[in-house]
A and B are shown apart, each in its own frame.
Chain A
Amino acid sequence: MAPGLPTDPQLVAAWRGGDEAAASALVRRHAPVLGRYLRSRGAASSELEDLVQEVFIRAFQGLDGWRGDAPLRGWLFRIAINLLRDRHRRGGGRIMVELMEDDRVDPADPAGELEAREARERLQSGLATLSPLQRDVFRLRIEDGLGYDEIAAALETTPGAARVHYHHAVRRLKECLE
């Protein structure tokens, strides 16, 4: 958090007091990472804005359910996770995955691309052997940049348990790459 900027709890309190600009500031602060999360979990680019908007509508309507001591970003991720689950159920369990390969970050080192691709494939197979919770913790930490306290809020666990799951995932995945 840059110095001088209001914290999330301050913005939430301001919004509860009727300050619409505080809600806008929260949207601007968290929408980009939520969009990246939704995109990386299979949402189409064309529906990202609607989905992110829905996350914030659910969040503001259910703010009473947010424990002020838990990181707001983690709680928003929890809503996004549930939103994807709801859509998945409504879609009769069909997975709405769009191939993401073209969107991936371009490698800075084209010469190592083949080796990197092979390593990514081994990593994908390794991820498939993890428990869903370990996989979620690992991806939220590495791909989405959440801290353990935010992961704990997103996955309804504790920061200590999130850390244990992360280390377990790292240990197994390192073996897959050796």
Chain B
Amino acid sequence: MNCEQLSDRMPEVARGETEWGVAEREHLAGCPECASEWRLVRIAARGSVPIPELDLDAITSGVHRAMAAPAQVVPFRPRRRVSGWAVGLAAAAMVLLAVAVWGPTGDAPDVAAVPAREPTLLPELDGLLEGELEVILASYEQDEAAEQPLGAVPRLGDLTDAELELLMEEVEG
């Protein structure tokens, strides 16, 4: 039993879906790091809303109705061969439709159309020294900063002292 294994079990125990085993209890009692994480996880789990009561029959039949509607493409039906000019016309129509619906800078509404981000390989956390973990975390923070959309406005807190001084000079004249 190590800290990582205990950490992995905390959310489900905190939500009451399972209980601690003997070895886990012993570790928790003797490890201040895990004890403080356990306190946090318990508090956070109390923010979890209960599973709502849903009419699953209504949802299921609604899904089947939508999938059976003539406008929908049924994925498991074999596709008919279509001639080249028909494909061209269809593609042109799709482009027009996309521009009309989403606009030139709009986002496609369907998650399935979004290409998955290239996965990044990460070493196992257990084997890392504190300093190494910090370096990895710092690189992720940078990645997140780089992912900000173009034109995102920097906040004052993001500016260096020199940049802030320049800005203040401009504002004050």
Using a CB–CB distance below 8 Å, which chain A residues touch chain B? 15-18, 20, 23-24, 27-28, 31-33, 35-36, 39-40, 45, 48-49, 52-53, 56-58, 60-67, 75, 78-79, 81-82, 86, 89, 100, 103-105, 107, 116, 119-120, 123, 131, 133, 138-139, 141-145, 156-158, 160-161, 163-165, 167-168, 170, 173-174, 177-178
Q: Interface size (B, Cβ < 8 Å)?
A: 57
B104-119 contacts to A, CB under 8 A, are 107, 109-114, 116-117, 119
**Contact of B50 with A28 in the complex, beta carbons under 8 Å:** no
Contact string against A for B residues 122-140, beta-carbon threshold 8 Å, 1 for contact and 0 otherwise: 1101000000010011001
**B109 touching A86, Cβ below 8 Å:** yes
Contacts of B125 in A (CB 8 A): 160, 163-164, 167
Q: Which residue of chain A has its CB nearest to the CB of B50?
A: A105
Name the distance in Å between A142's Cβ and chain B's nearest Cβ: 5
Contacting pair A164 B49 (CB below 8 A): no
- In the bound complex, what is the Cα–Cα distance between A66 and B60 (angstroms)? 20
The answer to whether B46 touches A32, judged by C-beta atoms less than 8 angstroms apart, is no
- Could you tell me if A82 and B111 are in contact, using CB atoms closer than 8 angstroms? yes
List A contacts of B51 (CB < 8 A): 32-33, 35-36
Interface assignment of B27: CB less than 8 Å from any CB of chain A: no
Known: A58-B110, A65-B111, A156-B114. 19 other contacts (CB 8 A): A23-B64, A31-B54, A36-B51, A40-B48, A40-B49, A45-B52, A49-B54, A49-B58, A52-B54, A62-B111, A62-B112, A82-B111, A82-B114, A120-B43, A123-B43, A142-B45, A163-B122, A167-B133, A168-B140
Report B's interface with A, CB cutoff 8 A.
Answer: 7, 11-12, 14-15, 17, 36-37, 39-41, 43-52, 54-56, 58-60, 62-64, 66-67, 72-73, 75-76, 107, 109-114, 116-117, 119-123, 125, 133, 136-137, 140-141, 144
Cα–Cα, bound, A48→B113 (Å): 24
B120 to chain A, nearest CB (A): 6
Q: What B residues does A56 contact at CB under 8 A?
A: 59, 63
| Count of A-B contacts judged by CB separation below 8 Å | 187
Q: Which residue of A lies closest to B125 (CB)?
A: A163
Q: Check if B12 sits within 8 Å of A145, measured CB to CB.
A: yes
Beta-carbon contact of A119 and B43 below 8 Å: yes
Instruction: Tell me how far the C-beta of A107 lies from the nearest C-beta in chain B, rounded to whole angstroms.
Output: 7
A63 touches B75 (CB 8 A): yes
Given known contacts A36-B51, A45-B52, A31 and B59 CB-to-CB distance under 8 angstroms: yes
Looking at the complex, which one of B15, B45, B56, B76 makes contact with A18 (CB distance below 8 Å)? Answer: B76
Closest to A70 in B: B116
A145 touches which one: B15, B111, B114, B117 (CB < 8 A)? B15
CA distance A75 to B15 in the complex (A): 23
Residues of A within 8 A of B123 (CB): 160
Give the residues in chain A near B60, CB-CB below 8 Å. Answer: 23-24, 27-28
24 sample A-B contacts, Cβ–Cβ < 8 Å, listed by A number: A23-B64, A28-B60, A31-B59, A35-B52, A39-B49, A40-B49, A49-B59, A53-B63, A64-B112, A65-B112, A65-B113, A75-B111, A82-B110, A139-B44, A142-B44, A142-B48, A143-B47, A145-B17, A158-B119, A160-B123, A163-B125, A168-B137, A173-B40, A177-B43
